[in-house]
Amino acid sequence: MIKIGTRNSPLAMWQAKEVEQKLQNLGYETSLVPVLSSGDKNLNQPLYSLGITGVFTKDLDIALLNNEIDIAVHSLKDVPTLLPQNIEISAVLERDFPQDVLVRKSSSKNKNLAELKIATSSLRRRAFWLEQFPNTEFSDIRGNVQTRLKKLEEGDFDATLFSLAGIKRMEMKLDFEFLEFMISAPSQGVVAIASRINDVETREILQQINHKETQICVEIERNFLRTLEGGCTAPIGAIAKFDDNRIYFKGKLSSLDGAKTLNLVEEFNYNNSENFGEKFAKAILENGGQEMMKIIKSEIKN
């Protein structure tokens, strides 16, 4: 019996059931074990002010290390790039819908993008939006997709931003708009499965449901993120796409106010001997990114 740990939000449960179905299709017995996370308990503070890395993964990590569960299912973009000792990402499912999309309240349908008051607690989404529309007002918003939609209709703001994956997975009939300038968070749209490194049997089982091309792309994105951030939350976007052994990569670092941005676009043949994510991040750091990260760190502390 494989005990599958998951947060208990509707989206997290959907992700865990996807993993469960794949394991059951291979003949394995499973059971779902919902775990309430610190990130779900505190819906009033924006994530960057909680002072916790892995705010949505910490409780599942503890359950995993205490042998209360055998695997933990996550949205990979919520998983810190530095994992606790004896925990690894052992498999990822094929990525779907990595984009961010804009969802408006019904009374704001006719407003221009520059006029919208936006609800988001994401530093990345705020900064990338401000680059285009520097006079925008923001409100903090937290909670699962359903909670944020309710707050959108009731709140004093015009629109919010969602990961398209969440909308599609919940089969929600929403009007949304794609935003070309909004580069996704590293590993957005990817379901990841963590296990204990010393649990060799479970790790081997998980390899049977791992999607290799997605794994290659998110490793590049997460290495880019880890090299840039140095343990600090910052407005960073990264997306890699795999096509016939060619990788197409976009990376971005922005100041908190969106006034300064560093962009990188690369196309290359993949080989597993080179750490492309680290290489691209170092190029950004050497081109002004190091100074930008220092400023971001000091601004977040204050």
Which CATH number covers residue 122?
A: 3.40.190.10
**Would residue 297 count as lying in a domain?**
yes
Q: Are residues 67 and 201 in the same domain?
A: yes
Q: What is the pLDDT of residue 193?
A: 98
| Active-site residue flag, 199 | no
Mean pLDDT, the chain, rounded, equals 90
Q: Are residues 149 and 83 in the same domain?
A: no
Q: What is the pLDDT of residue 8?
A: 87
Q: What is the pLDDT of residue 276?
A: 97
Structural domain range at position 146: 100-178
By C-alpha distance, which of 271, 234, 222 is closest to 125? 234
Residue 176 near residue 149 (C-beta atoms within 8 A):
no
192 phi, psi to nearest 5 deg: -120, 150
Number of helices (H), then strands (E), in the chain: 10, 13
* pLDDT of 14 above 70: yes
Q: Are residues 144 and 195 in the same domain?
A: no
Q: What is the pLDDT of residue 43?
A: 43
* pLDDT of 39 above 60: no
Q: Are residues 234 and 265 in the same domain?
A: yes
Q: Are residues 199 and 84 in the same domain?
A: yes
**Helix ranges, the chain (H):** 10-25, 38-41, 58-65, 123-132, 145-154, 164-169, 200-207, 212-229, 276-284, 290-301
* pLDDT of 187 above 90: yes
Number of structural domains the chain divides into: 3
Lowest pLDDT segment from 107-111, 142-146, 180-184, 267-271: 142-146
Q: Are residues 230 and 164 in the same domain?
A: no
By C-alpha distance, which of 200, 162, 165, 170 is closest to 76? 165
Lowest pLDDT segment from 27-41, 110-124, 162-176: 27-41
**Would residue 59 count as lying in a domain?**
yes
d(CA 191, CA 84): 19
**Would residue 185 count as lying in a domain?**
no
Q: Are residues 88 and 195 in the same domain?
A: yes
Residue 86 near residue 202 (C-beta atoms within 8 A):
no
Q: Averaged over 80-104, what is the pLDDT? A: 94
Q: What is the pLDDT of residue 153?
A: 87
CB atoms within 10 A of CB 295: 13
Q: What is the pLDDT of residue 262?
A: 97
d(CA 248, CA 245): 10
Q: Are residues 144 and 60 in the same domain?
A: no
Q: Averaged over 139-153, what is the pLDDT? A: 86
Q: Are residues 108 and 224 in the same domain?
A: no
Q: What is the pLDDT of residue 50?
A: 33
* pLDDT of 194 above 90: yes
Residues 6+ apart with CB under 8 A from 7: 13, 34, 35, 36, 37, 39, 40, 56, 60
* pLDDT of 48 above 90: no
Q: Averaged over 38-44, what is the pLDDT? A: 47
Q: Are residues 85 and 141 in the same domain?
A: no
Q: Are residues 196 and 240 in the same domain?
A: no
> Which residue in the list 59, 61, 70, 78 is annotated as catalytic?
78
